[in-house]
Amino acid sequence: MIEFENVYKAYKNGTKALRGVSFRIDDGEFVFIVGPSGAGKSTIIKLLMGEEYVSSGEITVGEYKLSKLPRSKLPYLRRTMGVVFQDFRLIPTKTVFDNVAFAMRVIGKNPRDIHKRVRYILNLVGLSNKGRSYPSQLSGGEQQRVALARALVNNPALIIADEPTGNIDPVLSRDIMDLLMAINEQKITVVVVTHEKSLVDTYNKRVITIDQGKLVSDRTGGYLI
């Protein structure tokens, strides 16, 4: 469960990124968070990950109250979620297998479990034959699949996808979205942050619209703005 309760966020430069935003996302939901550039979408992601703290209000993610969460607890929060970044953030000197396995190694999983789980996840995202390849040898769509596999490998309760189709063509965009839909069918909460109206309009899902730091719509089916 994710809950924003009257959340305000102002940065030191005076930018008021969020202005009294409130919403709740229940376990197992699929939700788009949309809005124009500068609306506050990136701030929502940073707050959810604990990269930033609220100026006032409260954010709850599962068992964690983020306004008072000490830095020492952040790794435990982040283990409950998988984040797919727009720029992929793959390690160029590591193979596809090792990019995905890295997320398990940093939390101390044993090699046997890592090998089994990574092979399973790569097959799930359609990259079972790319384990030995390097990111530079992959297409943009394949790199996005690696990023998604890495987000999934530790079996998170929540997937956050930041503009997951921003760097790939429309056909591959549909493939990535279909993967995210399939992941959601496994009772994993999926939050997709995007500004792509045509993509959102394709799916009859809940859409939270943010504009100028305020929640202006929370509805099912289509991009309001």
Candidate from 29-33, 90-94, 199-203 with smallest mean pLDDT: 199-203
Does some domain include residue 111?
A: yes
pTM, entire model: 0.91
Average pLDDT of span 91-113 = 95
- Residue 132 in any domain: the answer is yes
108 domain residue, yes or no: yes
Instruction: State the pLDDT at residue 222.
Output: 64
35 within some domain: no
Residue among 82, 75, 107, 63 nearest 158 (CA): 82
For residue 48, pLDDT beyond 80: yes
Name the residue range of residue 105's domain: 90-155
Chain-centroid distance, C-alpha 125:
16
Q: Is the dihedral of CA 146, 151, 154, 158 positive or negative?
A: negative
And the tokens for 92? 């160029």
Beta bridge partners of residue 219, listed in sequence order: 207
Predicted pLDDT of residue 171? 67
User: Would residue 139 count as lying in a domain?
Assistant: yes
- Give dist(CA 134, CA 11) in Å, integer: 38
- For residue 65, tell me if it sits in a domain: no
Report pLDDT digits (tens) over 139-182.
988 998 999 999 999 999 999 999 887 766 666 778 888 899 99
Calculate mean pLDDT across residues 106-124: 95
Q: How far is the C-alpha of 119 from the C-alpha of 115, rounded, in Å?
A: 6
Confidence bin at 114 (pLDDT 50/70/90): very high
Residue 128 forms part of a structural domain: yes
Asked if residue 44 is part of any domain, the answer here is no
The residue ranking higher by pLDDT, 68 or 105, is 105
Determine the Cα–Cα distance for residues 131 and 192; give it in Å rounded to an integer. 26
Range of weakest confidence among 6-10, 80-84, 142-146, 164-168: 164-168
Interval 112-129 mean pLDDT: 95
Our count of domains for the chain comes to 1
